[in-house]
Structure 1
């Protein structure tokens, strides 16, 4: 078990380092100068005093070679210090801490809806005895996955907000303002859950031990929920990390469409002005959420299938 945990922790550290490094390289190679944009304040950048620009570059460390900047930023990031925003001058950790609760509310609500709707669709599609209905329900996840998130959001706003006036279209005020963004994120994510779980259930229902349960007199509901669902859910469980990553990425679009505060809107603003410290903080936060979700799955998985730990504990042959 220790070897299993050590391996997963090592992979988590590697993912965080890779995400941080790649984001730094991409931002450094982007054209433009964030210091010039900040000093100009929306005015003509050519009119900015060169001496002021040099002073700002020294203050933020942009006058140093990229490798020195990278090592300095990485060393401080390991200690939890991502510096100050180039655009606002606020500490990055404070900026993300203010935006984090809104994004956590959105992603948690969307994930709960996605699992609930996707699981219900998969269970009913594999349970119904009507072939035509099963085929219809099995085709819905493919449609849901293919729909762009921004299009779903705009359609929901147009129908439920502008025409029917049932829900607010924008903002962060109250639980009602969370419904449309959460549903927008949950539709493609729930489609992924339904797609994988339905296929896994169909395969599991043909397993010999399920046939044995039927032969012993177990009813269809009991076979579905007790004998088939537990093993069929294992592949879907491994998708949790991917789902968290998709939700974090989708929050960028959804928070923009619905004018919600959160990590997504901070990301859009930071990328627009090449605010490297903020973007680095956002990337690390997103990678950390992905890593923690996968690590939680890795810890839960052996409880459902003890063979995972046994396999990981076996020494590899040296040939």
Structure 2
């Protein structure tokens, strides 16, 4: 096989792989919307109660009017198809309680949650990489300390850690605000509460790959050429250790968004978690659907981005990597 034939063979396979990942992502989005819709339909309670509010006894005319306004007078199958069509047009319906477009409510809270998720993921990676690079294959006490700290960090509940951070750094030292705020200073404590447990998981996943990379022929050759140990660790071994961490990061984004529900409550932050919790308590089904759809969309987007980064930085040959 010539070089031209081999190159032309690789390109279609990569395109097919990308298309299959996009197709799988669309299926995940569809399943998340469908399962949430079904769960809300079989949930006990009448959504009209959320529309009129507690303690209100509406007239039959008011009930009929509201059912028509929110499309509740149609069969479930028609409502389901209408919701799918609405998603394609960027229409997530109207909130039962505020009568506002759900897309505005969700997007209005998304920035705060995405900022918290991004900051937490970044801090987790910095802490995990520092632990792995600084302690792997060092003196046995140093490596044992690194492993122990990673296990302890991974076992800490984020909500408990958030309370401890507030007590120490907000109430005692007064370094950071304890609640609310949109600035970077108000982001530090909630981001740390989510990042520290995740950093423990990431470091444990990457440590063995990092240690294996230090024994690979390319690392031994670099040492024989007089390359410094830190350069070998950062330039040659770290890219190999990053790959399993990237795979875990896709799951981590969903975990961070889920964990942000409790963290946003503890730190009195606005966000998707706070919005979703309020919607569940009020049976505001359109807001629940819109929040779940946004979370699923973010998760899918991160998975696709992670796959692309994995392919870009994988030091192995394409045939081996696949």
- In the superposition, the TM-score normalised over structure 2's length comes to 0.88
Per the alignment, residue 17 of structure 1 pairs with 30
Structure of greater relative contact order (alpha carbons < 8 Å, 6+ residues apart):
1
Asked if 1:60 is matched to 2:70, the reply is: yes
Alignment of 1:213-252 (within 5 A): 213-252=222-261
- The 1:223–1:260 alpha-carbon spacing in structure 2 relative to 1, beyond 3 Å, is same
Asked if 1:84 is matched to 2:101, the reply is: no
Which has the larger displacement, 210-219 or 10-19?
210-219
- The 1:71–1:226 alpha-carbon spacing in structure 2 relative to 1, beyond 3 Å, is same
The alpha carbon displacement at 1:260 in A equals 0.7
The alpha carbon displacement at 1:222 in A equals 2.2
- Cα distance between partner residues in 1 of 2:319 and 2:88: 33
Residue pair 1:146, 1:188 contacting (<8 A) in 2 also: yes
Alignment of 1:120-135 (within 5 A): 120-127=130-137, 129-135=138-144
Alignment of 1:1-319 (within 5 A): 1-39=14-52, 41=53, 43-44=54-55, 47-127=57-137, 129-305=138-314, 310=319
- Cα distance between partner residues in 2 of 1:213 and 1:13: 44
Structure 1 counterpart SS, 2:136:
helix
- Cα distance between partner residues in 1 of 2:310 and 2:156: 31
- Cα distance between partner residues in 1 of 2:80 and 2:317: 38
- Cα distance between partner residues in 1 of 2:216 and 2:17: 29
Residue pair 2:179, 2:268 contacting (<8 A) in 1 also: yes
The alpha carbon displacement at 1:64 in A equals 2.9
Structure 1 residue runs of 5 or longer lacking an equivalent are 314-319
- Cα distance between partner residues in 2 of 1:247 and 1:186: 9
The alpha carbon displacement at 1:173 in A equals 4.3
Number of residue equivalences: 309
- The 1:156–1:215 alpha-carbon spacing in structure 2 relative to 1, beyond 3 Å, is same
The alpha carbon displacement at 1:139 in A equals 2.0
Per the alignment, residue 316 of structure 1 pairs with none
The alpha carbon displacement at 1:306 in A equals 7.4
Which has the larger displacement, 86-95 or 18-27?
18-27
The alpha carbon displacement at 1:68 in A equals 2.2
Structure 2 counterpart SS, 1:303:
helix
Per the alignment, residue 317 of structure 1 pairs with none
